Amino acid sequence: MKQLLTEKPKVLKMLEVDIPKIEKSTDVLVKMKAAGICGSDVHIYHGTSPVATYPRVMGHEIVGVVAEIGKDVTHVKIGDPVIVDQIVNCGTCYPCSIGRPNICCNLKVRGVHIDGGYREYLVAGEEALHLLPRNLSFTDAVMIEPMSIAFQSCSRAEITKEDILFILGAGALGKSLIKAARLTGARIIVSDVVDERLAEAKALGVSEVINSKKEDLAAKLKEYTPWGPTVSIDAAGFPGSLPLLTDLTCNAGRIITMAFLDEPSPVQQFKITAKELDVRGSRLQNNKFKEVIAAYNEGKIAIEGAVSHVLPFAEAIKAFNMIDAGDPSIKKIALSFE
């Protein structure tokens, strides 16, 4: 089978290797059908990920078809379309013991710490597999994983219909957050510096949009809200974003940070203390695949249409070169194994 190996930063190699074998009775061999290229994959390729190890087969937005099952597998059968959970946890540490395996003290993420799905076959335990909706294409289905990240963030924020939510950034993550947050009934305000992104956010049903390059962000939020947003989610992740949100968020509000920046953020503790702000991290997802799939099946969220480009897996290196070239038409690339 073919697999794409990141041998070291900026060195990608398409190799021919053996198909992995089932070793445990609850293992499942999955034939890959599609894999998304995420921003974190680009960081791993560039060598700017603070957590990845090399050499590494990337790919954590991964869907396929069950090709073979171990003798004790009961959850799936051969031929089932599935998405593979990216998280591998120990099950015994403190976070795991309180139902938060996404931040396991011994966490391993497929495509980051262990090999992922940029290969034609992958073996995973049956507990990592979730059945896909039959009417969803494989290339669209890769978006279930990033949508699960958005569901996790909204869960961490404990958003209710009484909240005024401010989302900083209207890129791919920001748009997923909008879709997830709309299910809460909260009023949503979004800012970005690109008018096209803001138009897309408006089309998704947000109340107000702000181009912070052209308008005074703080002044516009004061115009749109009585005290400022009660919840702010950072979907932009630049060094000044956290201190900015401590300024903008209402007293007693919640701030959700999702970025993996390793540069220091100059946050004044006074603002957090004086306003009694809750600053919370949100990482990966905690059993949110089922929630996303259920919401899709019930017609509450749309997943289709987010992928702008589909390339054959054999052209995966070309896909990364396209992203590096900065083509503005690229919103999301999916690799197809069909």
Question: How do residues 248-291 score in pLDDT, each as one tens digit?
Answer: 999 999 999 999 888 888 999 999 999 999 999 999 999 999 99
Nearest-angstrom CA–CA distance, 174 and 215: 19
The pair phi, psi for residue 314, each rounded to 5°, is: -60, -20
pLDDT of residue 189: 98
Contact call for residues 116 and 124 (beta carbons, < 8 A): no
- Note the CATH number of domain 147-281: 3.40.50.720
- Note the CATH number of domain 2-143+303-336: 3.90.180.10
pLDDT of residue 265: 87
pLDDT of residue 328: 85
How does pLDDT run across 198-209, given as a tens digit for each residue? 999 999 999 999
pLDDT of residue 22: 98
Domain ranges for the chain? 2-143+303-336, 147-281
Contact call for residues 193 and 164 (beta carbons, < 8 A): no
Same fold? 2-143+303-336, 147-281: no
Low-confidence ranges of the chain (pLDDT < 70): none
Within 8 A by CB and 6+ apart from 166, the residues are 188, 189, 190, 191, 221, 229, 231, 232, 233, 245, 248, 249
Within 8 A by CB and 6+ apart from 45, the residues are 6, 9, 10, 12, 58, 320
Cα of 329 vs its chain's centroid, Å: 20
Which ranges constitute the DSSP H helices of 91-185? 94-97, 138-141, 144-157, 172-182
Mean pLDDT score of the chain:
97
pLDDT of residue 278: 98
